[in-house]
Amino acid sequence: MVKAIGIDFGTTNSVVALLHEDGSVTTRRHATLDVFRSVLCFWTEPLPGRTLLHHAAGPEAIAAYLEDPQDSRLIMSMKTYLSCSDLDNPAPLANTVIASAAKQSPA
């Protein structure tokens, strides 16, 4: 079982480290690499009576952006936005990265 998660948001790549209950530390694998591209993509889907917000991280973010570059937002320098005063609460953005990374990587 994982006791803690550490994330190094790099300019180009990010790494997720896992602290296990036995004290060992491993990196989270993403497809075939230990590193994960430091990019996010957001886009909306209009539905009757509401708009659904979609998101992707890493390689899936790049693929989503290339599929529809006009109606999506690609964030490549995440650290620039995380320190911005306009971003009142960075936790949802960080949770998006963590959830997307966990979804894409094998255990």
- Read off the pLDDT band of 86 (50, 70, 90): low
Domain coverage including residue 40: 2-104
CB 53 within 8 Å of CB 83? no
The answer to whether residue 80 scores a pLDDT higher than 60 is yes
Residues of the chain with pLDDT > 70, as a percent, come to 69
The one-character DSSP state at 30 is B
pTM over 0.75, yes/no: no
Whole-Å CA distances, 65 to 8, 40, 41, 68, 81: 23, 9, 6, 5, 18
Least confident of 14-18, 63-67, 84-88: 84-88
Indicate the pairing of strand 72-75 with strand 35-37.
Answer: unpaired
* Rounded distance between C-alpha atoms, residue 22 and residue 16, angstroms: 18
User: How many separate domains does the chain show?
Assistant: 1
- Read off the pLDDT band of 4 (50, 70, 90): confident
